Amino acid sequence: MTLLDVRELCFSWPGREVLKGIDFKVEPNQLVSVLGVNGAGKTTLLKCINRILSQSSGMVRLQSNDMATLPLMNVARHIAYVPQSVGTNFPMSVFDVVLLGRRPHVNWFVGEADREKVSESLHYLNLKEFAFRRYDQLSGGERQRVVLAKALAQDPDLYLLDEPTSDLDLKNQIVIMEKLVALVKNTQRASSALVAIHDIDMAARFSDKILLLHEGVIHAFGSPKEVLTPKNIGEVFGVEAEIVNKSSLMRIIIKGAIRAGDEA
CB half-sphere exposure, 173, CA atoms < 13 A: 15
Read off the pLDDT band of 264 (50, 70, 90).
very low
In the chain, CATH 3.40.50.300 sits at 1-63+159-232
Residue 22 has a CB neighbour count (10 Å cut-off) of 25
Read off the pLDDT band of 27 (50, 70, 90).
very high
Average pLDDT rounded to a whole number, residues 106-127: 91
Secondary structure class of 1 (helix, strand, coil) = coil
Alpha carbon dihedral 63, 223, 161, 157, in 10-degree steps, equals 20
For 248, residues 6+ apart whose C-beta sits below 8 A from its C-beta are none
Correct CATH for 1-63+159-232 of 3.40.50.150, 1.50.10.10, 3.90.1150.200, 3.40.50.300: 3.40.50.300
Q: What pLDDT shows up at residue 213?
A: 98
Average pLDDT rounded to a whole number, residues 151-170: 94
Read off the pLDDT band of 88 (50, 70, 90).
low
DSSP string, 187-234: TTS--EEEEE-S-HHHHHHH-SEEEEEETTEEEEEE-HHHH--HHHHH
Across all residues in the chain, what is the average pLDDT?
Answer: 92
Residue 112 has a CB neighbour count (10 Å cut-off) of 7
Instruction: Residue 31: name the closest of 191, 226, 198 by CA.
Output: 191
Per-residue burial over 44-75, b if 16 or more Cβ lie within 10 Å, else e, is bbbbbbbbebebeebebbbeeeebeebeeeeb
Kindly report the pTM of this predicted structure: 0.93
Q: Which residues pair with 252 in a beta bridge?
A: 243
Kindly tell me if the per-residue pLDDT of 64 is higher than 90: no
DSSP letter assigned to residue 59:
E
Average pLDDT rounded to a whole number, residues 212-241: 96
Angle at 209 between CA 204 and CA 210, to 5 degrees: 65
Q: What pLDDT shows up at residue 118?
A: 96
Average pLDDT rounded to a whole number, residues 156-176: 93
Kindly tell me if the per-residue pLDDT of 108 is higher than 90: no
Kindly tell me if the per-residue pLDDT of 71 is higher than 50: yes
Q: What pLDDT shows up at residue 248?
A: 76
Q: Percentage of residues in the chain with pLDDT exceeding 90?
A: 81
Spatial contact of 241 and 255, defined as CB atoms under 8 Å apart: yes
Read off the pLDDT band of 146 (50, 70, 90).
very high
* Entry field: residues in the chain: 264
Average pLDDT rounded to a whole number, residues 14-34: 96
Average pLDDT rounded to a whole number, residues 5-22: 95
